Each structure stands twice: as structure tokens, then as C-alpha cells.
Chains A and B, each alone.
Chain A
Amino acid sequence: MGSRDANICLRADRPDVIEETFDGEVTLVHLRTGIFYGMNATGSTLWRQIEQGRTPATVARVLADAYGVSRGTVEADIAPLIAELVADEVLVPAEAEADVPPPQANGPWSAPAAERYSDMADLLKLDPIHDLRADYAGWPIPREGTDEAVEA
């Protein structure tokens, strides 16, 4: 992540992103894409810092302060996960930074990580609604190039 990207404010794509916390670890689901993530402890801490709206640079600073590690280390460690969440549209640009309480270190620092599950996304891509034949007689769904359904 470049320094320019690190200063772009991000937030969770609400209401399409939903989450639950189990034993301190976040599991989140993106309802629009079907992708879900299971985050490790520091990934969960990162998520709580950024999901309401923050820049990666701000998140790196508060995490570095909380865990007592260098900001450079944290910036390098959080960049891959943030980039993945942006690519999956779980994180989207935000207007302004939110006021988020500083994190509490819940153990030694380790790189934030998440297991990514795309099985449901694959199911959603099997989208019969938009794959109907051009001569589909009856109801009901618009196809590419037309917004008119054809009725028998």
C-alpha cells in the first residue's frame, strides 16, 4: 500500500457487511458478494479500528502505540489485509474519519490475517437470473442489452 493509499479514509460497506465476534475473533460476511472472512486476533483489532471509518495511516499509528511496535512494522503488516478487504469491496471509501476508542493490546503483536472463504461467492456467481436465453418466452428478468422482459 502506497503512502497515498494509506491516507484514504475507509469504512465497512454497510449494510452489506455484517459480522459477529466469537472468542474475540471477528467473522464477517459480505452479503452482496458472498465472501466471508474469519479473522485472527490482531485482524479483529484492525477491523474494529477501521470499520467505522479511518485511514490505514491512522490505524497503523494507534496499533503501533497499543502494541509497542514500530509504525513501519505495523504499516507493512496491515497493508496486505486492508488491500484484500478493499479488493473484495468489504472496505469502501469513507467521507471522514470516525472517532474510535484506541485499541487494547490483547497479546503480542502479530501480522493481522484472515481466512477468506469464497464458496458462497461462487454460488452467487451462478446467476441464472442474468443468463436466460434471448428468446426466453415469458417472465421475467432483464438481460444484458435490454431492460424489457418478454412476455408470452
Chain B
Amino acid sequence: MTSARVDEKTLESFMEASLDAYQRAAEAIAPQQTWVDLGGIPVGVETAGESLHPRITRMLLRSSQRPFQTDARILAFDVARTRILPPRPPWGEDTRGFAAGVRGLPEDRFLAEFHADPETFAVYDRGRRVSVYWSRYADGLYRSLESAPLRAQMRWMGMDRGLHLMHAAAVGRGGDGLLLMGAGGAGKSTTAFAAMLAGMEFVSDDFCVLRCEPDGSTTVMPLVTIGRATENTMRLLPGLAERVVNRGAPADHKAEIELADVITPALTVRALGVPVQDRVPGAPRPLPTGTFVRKVLLGTMSSYPGMADVSFRFLARLAGGLPCFELPVGPDLADVEDLIDGALSMTARVPA
């Protein structure tokens, strides 16, 4: 069985029709605009439909750069408010890839993802650096906005500028950072929040942006200013309560944690870790690169639509160049600070 392929000309026509649909939506409802920060690059988010705009932008880090420097745009609309339908897509069977990415596209030019529940769709033209994002109902978007709104588009736009969106928490000390990786539920956020409350430097609890530097090092930067915590995490870390911004939310929603005042703008990644919940806390356990990659592969690749090969190779390069650890986190989280300091101290440093 081979994947269906869609030719570039067909995708160009589809992109034009998508842009035209957005234009009609923007004529129906005056668009709102926000500039968000993607690893130091401003990305313009323009939305036709006033209820959609805050939902897709409120968690994202704002750009301090001036609008005219924006080099990538996301154009978003929802049908419920604008009554404008997007065009019919040119792909069919056998199209679903990792994380709802659409397979079979000429990925050097176009990328797309689709979610059926809630109904959202994004297509990105890499040549023009513009993405069209569509949702049927803005009010039903909560699930698709968990963790990192617009993360497909942010990842695609970042890749073209040497940035990689990573499903990882990031904390550290003195400018040195540790990436906490693993599948959802592994304990990334809880470990990162515990480190933050202990006074460590904090970049992210779930998704972050990585940049490869000319000297071979990797810098980690934040993407969002609001983190998310489960009921269990809130019970374990009562110090988070004062930061909750969605009190009164439905029971199945995670607590949203305000982080803007504690976020560190950048850390140099010195080590990678995968937390494991242990009855007895212990020291960081070094892992062979291959073992580490296999432990985190699911949580990493299932988060990124499109260009899965690039994600895999980036993860391999990252893990191949840094010490990797399993971090046995004890039940009361009291050991987290020592555990992270321990991993960072075991890092082989290159003399300046």
C-alpha cells in the first residue's frame, strides 16, 4: 500500500481557495490581530471572528517586535460566526499521519493537519509563509488548544527558520537547562512545576522552542505563558493554587497556571531527562542514547503533524549530543531540585 500523493499544482489551487475563503470571512467580520513570539520571531495571528481570537492567542507568548517585522502569518476563521466554509480538500483515503498530519502532500511546499473533534484544519504554504486555520465552532476548541495553541503552524513556521517545537518541559539553573521529555502523563509538567516552586529557572511545562546555535549548543525558549496542571499535580503542589487563572472551569479541564512572571527567556540545554515516578527518590540514572530515544519517541513524534522524518532526526541529533537520564521522582516531589541539579552537574562540559 502506498500513500496517496497530491501534486503541487493542486495544492496551490487549494491554498488559493483557502486564502479566498479567509478573505471573505474577514470581509464578513473585521479581523483582529496579535503578534506572538516564536523563538524570537514574530508571527502575526489574524482572526475573523471575535470569539476565536482570544482562544487561539491568549496562552501564547507575545512578541515585542514591531508588526512590520512579522515574517509569518496565520489567518484564522470559524464557520459559526462567519458562515464561510473552507474549500474542499484535494486528498482522500490513506491520508492520516502522525498527530493528525495529512500525508502525501509535497511537504517541501505545503503542510496540513486535520482534527475531527473538535473540527479544526490548518494548511501552511511554506513558500509564502502563510497558514490558513479553520474551526467550525470557536466554542468547541478547548481540546485542540490544550498545551500549545496553533502548535502545528508554529512548528512548521519554526522549521523554516531553524527552530524546532519540542514536546518537553524545560527547567534549569544558572542558564543551564534540562529538557524533561516523555509521553503525556510521564510527569513532565509536575516535575517542572516542582522545580519552579523550588526557585529553579523555568521555561516551559509542556511545549518549548529549540534553536541550534552556531557553536553546536541548543537553546530552549518558551512558547506559552500559561501552563496546565492536573488535579493530582495541584494536590501535590499546593503552591500552584495562587497562580490558577481558570477557577470555576469544568471538572475535566486542567487548572491553567499563570507563568508569565517566572518564565526564563532562554536556557542552554545541557541534558535530557525522562521522569519516572518512583516510590523512593534516587539519583539521575544515565541512559544510553538509543534507550532514551525509544522511551521518548512516542511522546515526541505523536505531537507533531507533518515532516515526521525531520522530527525523528532532530531528536536523534539532540539526544546523541547530550547526556540522557532517567529521573526517579519520589512521591512527594521534595527531591526534584536535587535530582535536576544532579543531572546538570553530571553533564560533561566543554571548556570555554
Residues of A in contact with B (beta carbons under 8 Å apart): 15-16, 18, 20, 22-23, 25, 27, 29, 31-32, 34, 36, 38, 89, 115, 117, 119-120, 123-124, 127-132, 138-142, 147, 149, 151-152
Contact = CB atoms under 8 A, between A and B. Distances in A.
Interface in B71-116: 79, 85-86, 88-89, 92-93, 95-98, 103, 114-116
A113 to B, nearest CB: 14
Contact of A31 (B119, B309, B320): B309
B288 interface: yes
B290 A27 contact: yes
Contact of A20 (B88, B121, B301, B313): B313
7 contacts: A23-B290, A25-B290, A31-B308, A32-B3, A120-B298, A120-B301, A142-B92
B294 interface: yes
A133 B293 CA distance: 38
A123 B302 CA distance: 8
Given A23-B288, A31-B98, A36 B85 contact: no
Given A138-B79, A140-B88, A151-B85, A22 B293 contact: yes
Interface string B259-299: 00000000000000000000000000000111001100110
B98 A138 contact: no
Contacts, number: 101
B86 A139 contact: yes
Q: Which 8 A-B pairs have the closest CB atoms?
A: A128-B116, A22-B290, A20-B316, A22-B289, A142-B92, A119-B298, A18-B309, A38-B294
B308 A29 contact: yes
A117 B296 CA distance: 12
By size class, the interface of chain B is 35 or more
B298 A139 contact: no
A129 to B, nearest CB: 5
A22 B320 contact: yes
A112 to B, nearest CB: 16
Contacts of B312: 18, 20, 29
Nearest to A128: B116
Contact of A152 (B85, B116, B290, B309): B85
Contacts of A130: 93, 96
B136 interface: yes
A11 B85 CA distance: 44
Interface in B308-350: 308-309, 312-313, 316, 319-320
Given A27-B290, A29-B312, A16 B98 contact: no
Contacts of B79: 138
Contact of B290 (A38, A119, A138, A151): A38
Contacts of B242: none
B117 interface: yes
A34 B293 CA distance: 15
Given A18-B309, A22-B316, A138-B136, A127 B96 contact: yes
Contact of A140 (B86, B93, B302, B320): B86
Contact of B288 (A22, A120, A131): A22
A128 B302 contact: no
A124 B98 contact: yes
A29 B293 CA distance: 12
B1 interface: yes
